């Protein structure tokens, strides 16, 4: 009898221990998933939205645990609505998150975020180059990192590595038709041209007006990745455009382009990559003439 009671107490202890282990594993996995999501989300304002959503999840779980049925019902429906809203707002971040999971890059979520910087000196050099390209009607596509480093996996083709010092002469020479590097985009990080002849993912969106490949590529990469901007010079008209988060700001003068890019530089210090003034931002479906 004593032996039977001892076995029962051991089994009871084992079940309690197993329940505790399950709870610990559950909490650890949730924390790891939360950390991975926060790692992908870079911008401060978006980060606060994600934290708010996590708070709603915790509040819902707590209300269920203490059996507050009506509050639990309200919070549950609020969580569903918030999840749908975040899925729309964080399209590019969710795409990156799912792609990394699909590639099996689980350890990538644990690595520190590599920071980048767009400086005023680099902006001046880029504006000078773009002004000359626009006057000569030489097509160009310039990808700029803002506050977080890009990686070759972000592109359809990573191009040819240059790691050259940024200068207007270098940019101008790359996009000359006689140059073997003129097709595709160049990748600029700080005051350095990382690579040329990049192939960027094209936007799948369609509209009533025909978009050229350069503009579709600028929209595509900025739809996919939020921490970059893309400068486009039209080969046919010489017009200047700036793409950010799947939106085109155009037509721009070289001075207006410099003003917008400097706003990105200032925004880096406040944890956002959004310029303050967006009055000239045109949605994809609001463009009033073809872009090539």
* pLDDT for 287: 36
Is residue 53 included in any domain, yes or no?
A: yes
- 64 and 163 together in one domain: no
Structure tokens that stand for 222 in this block: 């900025």
- 103 and 159 together in one domain: no
Say if pTM beats, i.e. exceeds, 0.75: no
Q: Which of 108, 134, 161 represents a domain boundary (last residue)?
A: 108
- 130 and 222 together in one domain: yes
Structure tokens that stand for 120 in this block: 């005023």
Is residue 47 included in any domain, yes or no?
A: yes
Is residue 113 included in any domain, yes or no?
A: no
Is residue 30 included in any domain, yes or no?
A: yes
Is residue 98 included in any domain, yes or no?
A: yes
Q: Which of 46, 73, 108 represents a domain boundary (last residue)?
A: 108
Is residue 184 included in any domain, yes or no?
A: yes
Does 15 sit behind a cis peptide bond, omega within 30 degrees of 0 on the bond before it? no
Going residue by residue through the chain, which has 292 residues, state the pLDDT in tens, using 9 for 90 and above: 555 545 545 555 566 777 777 777 777 777 777 766 666 665 555 667 777 888 888 888 888 888 888 888 888 888 888 888 877 766 666 766 676 677 665 555 555 544 556 788 889 999 999 999 999 999 999 999 887 778 777 788 888 999 999 999 999 999 999 999 988 999 998 889 999 999 998 887 655 456 788 988 998 888 888 778 999 999 888 999 999 888 888 889 999 999 998 887 776 554 444 554 443 334 433 333 334 4
* pLDDT for 138: 93
What range does the domain containing 20 cover? 14-108
- 262 and 149 together in one domain: yes
* pLDDT for 203: 84
Q: SS3 for the chain, per residue? A: CHHHHHHHHHHHHHHHHHHHHHHHHHHHHHHHHHHHHHHHCCCHHHHHHHHHHHHHHHHHHHHHHCCCHHHHHHHHHHHHHHHHHHHHHCHHHHHHHHHHHHCCCCHHHHCCCCECCCCHHHHHHHHHHHHHHHHHCCCEEEEEECCECCCHHHCCECCEEEEEECCHHHHHHHCCCCCCCCCCEEEEECCEEEEEEEECCCCCCCCCCCECHHHHHHHHHHHHCCCEEEEEECCCCCCEEEEECCEEEEEECHHHHHHHHHHHHHHHCCCCCCCCCCCCEECHHHCCCCEC
- 50 and 89 together in one domain: yes
- 192 and 249 together in one domain: yes
């Amino acid at each position: 009898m004593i032996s039977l009671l001892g076995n029962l107490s051991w089994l009871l202890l084992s079940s309690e221990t197993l329940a505790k282990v399950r709870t610990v594993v559950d909490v650890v996995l949730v924390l790891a998933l939360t950390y991975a999501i926060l790692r992908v989300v870079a911008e401060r304002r978006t980060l606060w939205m994600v934290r708010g959503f996590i708070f709603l999840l915790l509040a819902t779980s707590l209300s269920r645990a203490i059996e507050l049925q009506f509050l639990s019902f309200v919070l549950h429906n609020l969580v569903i609505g918030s999840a749908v809203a975040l899925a729309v707002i964080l399209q590019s971040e969710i795409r990156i998150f799912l792609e990394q999971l699909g590639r099996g890059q689980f350890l990538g979520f644990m690595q520190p975020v590599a920071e980048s910087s767009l400086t005023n000196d680099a902006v001046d050099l880029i504006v000078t180059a773009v002004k000359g390209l626009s006057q000569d009607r030489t097509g160009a596509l310039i990808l700029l990192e803002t506050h977080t480093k890009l990686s070759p996996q972000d592109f359809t083709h990573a191009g040819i590595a240059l790691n050259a010092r940024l200068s207007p002469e270098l940019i101008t020479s790359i996009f000359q038709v006689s140059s073997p590097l003129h097709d595709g985009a160049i990748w600029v990080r700080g005051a350095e041209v990382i690579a040329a002849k990049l192939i960027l993912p094209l936007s799948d969106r369609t509209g009533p007006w025909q978009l050229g490949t350069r503009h579709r590529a600028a929209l595509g990469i900025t739809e996919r990745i939020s921490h970059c901007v893309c400068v486009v010079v039209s080969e046919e008209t010489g017009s200047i455009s700036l793409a950010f988060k799947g939106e085109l700001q155009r037509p721009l003068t070289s001075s207006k382009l410099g003003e917008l890019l400097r706003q990105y530089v200032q925004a880096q210090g406040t944890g956002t990559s959004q310029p303050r003034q967006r009055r000239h931002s045109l949605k994809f479906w609001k463009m009033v003439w073809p872009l090539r």
